[in-house]
A and B are shown apart, each in its own frame.
Chain A
């Protein structure tokens, strides 16, 4: 079936640099996208979301970009800190109201490693 995927399983960046985590999705009907952060031993933590009628949304130190033409989503983290070390997942749904059967579809995740 349709799936959400990540380009890289691991991304290593220097502390203080900007990080860019990418995600490709295949469901052209996807309408709502979320980024989650999962630290070791914890459940996923909501970072930021974006609807398909937007192409950019900013939060505190994070920006999500959506390119519907190529079905690509990215998460940018500014001035990466040691506390940003985690696995990052993108997730999507074609139906935010949840009328469909799939709930959220998650990508496989990218492990962000911060080098001192």
Chain B
């Protein structure tokens, strides 16, 4: 079974731009969660989607948004990029909703904001 895939793997943007990242979950998984990983803050929860609905959201500004499609694929968008948004963005899928179900992570998208 193929793992979680994320595209693109690397991205360079400038301040003020917006970016869209994509995540394809493991086949049959209906929940997708997004995390931001930085050296200073570590891994922080962004949001979780299940059946095309956002179930919960971490403590991030409204510039961070996401959506999930009927095939469970998910995208996250960051608008008006800031230097501090430079991070590894990780997507994780699980069979059902909630962190109690084992989450399988993708390799991440490395975003650099200049």
Contacts and interface: CB of A to CB of B under 8 A. Distances in A.
- Genuine A/B complex: yes
Contacts of A46: 102-104
A70 to B, nearest CB: 22
A101 B44 CA distance: 12
Interface stretch (A20-28, A59-67, A92-100): A92-100
Of the four ranges (under 10, 10 to 19, 20 to 34, 35 or more), the interface on chain A belongs to: 20 to 34
Contacts of B48: 98, 103
Majority SS of interface residues in chain A? loop
Interface string B42-58: 11110110000001111
A68 interface: no
Interface in B69-98: 90, 92, 97-98
Interface of B: 4, 33, 35, 42-45, 47-48, 55-59, 90, 92, 97-108
